[in-house]
Amino acid sequence: MGVLEFTLSEPVKVSVGGDFAEVDILELHAPPAKEKKLPIRLRKGFMKAAMGFADQAKPKDAEGEDEEKEDLKGSDIEPMLFASDIDIEKYMQDFRDLILVKGVCTIGDAQFLTKHWDDITAEDAMRLMGEYLAHFFAPSWIPKDNTTS
């Protein structure tokens, strides 16, 4: 899984050694093991949305076999979440709370804080959530096809 680097569409001001710099790169990490509640709630909501979306949109070929699977991208996440019956406002709040956990997100050399979250655009917040979920949560449940043709 490693580190995920995310570029904001608009930079935010970050205090660096008493001065302010405009920074547009976030560095994201998997949630720490000591933080369990938020990742569990987020994973459950993600899986509920993904499974419901897959059931509604599962294409079949002429023989009834599933089409070839593609990797899930961050841009795939938003429609899944909005098409599901999860409380998207609560889900976004849980995601925000996870991002603010120490070590999960840094901006420049600083910890990503509430003031930084408040400064990013709503569009960036949605893209950030999608990319984070696709990078850190989706790989744990997407079946890997190990067969060769």
Predicted confidence (pLDDT) per residue in 4-29, tens digit: 999 999 999 998 778 889 999 999 99
- Per DSSP bridges, beta strands 19-28 and 4-16 are antiparallel
Rounded to whole angstroms, the Cα distance separating 71 from 65 reads 18
Is the pLDDT reported for residue 88 higher than 60? yes
8 A C-beta contact, residue 133 and residue 74: yes
Contacts of 12 (CB under 8 A, 6+ apart): 22, 23, 24, 107, 116, 119, 120
Work out the widest C-alpha separation in the chain, in whole angstroms.
65
Q: How confident is the model at residue 146 (pLDDT cuts 50, 70, 90)?
A: very low
H or E stretch including 82?
helix 74-83
Average model confidence (pLDDT) across the chain: 84
Indicate whether this model's pTM tops 0.85: no
